[in-house]
Amino acid sequence: GIQVEQSPPDLILQEGANSTLRCNFSDSVNNLQWFHQNPWGQLINLFYIPSGTKQNGRLSATTVATERYSLLYISSSQTTDSGVYFCAGGNAGGTSYGKLTFGQGTILTVHP
């Protein structure tokens, strides 16, 4: 099956700093999502981004499908950005049924 590697595993920032989180895949995927898990465990959808670049406020993501990686950018970080960030990938078609394989996550801590 697909292996998903996230880096860094932990990240500590001061408020206002920028950061980049990376996700590498062992095989091609055409289903790729980024999530933020809040302190209550809820997974919040950040981006559905099988390819290309998307932006939503201070967050943006880029997926280079041919090189099997995706990046999540957080600019001007705030304390409310703290939590765990997951990427997950899989394949939408055939017998894959959209199943997602998750990375181990990046724990982000933003200090005031």
Number of residues lying near other proteins (CB under 8 A): 24
Binding-site member from 36, 63, 89, 103 for other proteins (CB under 8 A): 103
For CA atoms 49, 52, 13, 112, the dihedral sign is negative
- As measured in angstroms, the least distance from the Cβ of 66 to other proteins is 20
In the bound state with other proteins, the residue whose beta carbon lies nearer, of 75 and 99, is 99
- As measured in angstroms, the least distance from the Cβ of 79 to other proteins is 20
Binding-site member from 54, 65, 75, 105 for other proteins (CB under 8 A): 105
Beta strand pairing call for 106-111 and 83-90: antiparallel
63 near other proteins, judged by CB under 8 A: no
Which of 24, 47, 50, 23 lies closest to 35, judged by CA?
A: 47
For CA atoms 104, 8, 85, 38, the dihedral sign is positive
Decide: 4 and 88 in contact? Cβ < 8 Å: yes
Burial degree of 39 (CB within 10 A; 0-12, 13-18, 19+): exposed
Binding-site member from 14, 40, 56, 57 for other proteins (CB under 8 A): 40
Contacts to other proteins by CB under 8 A: 31, 33, 35, 40-43, 45, 48, 84, 86, 88, 92-93, 96-105
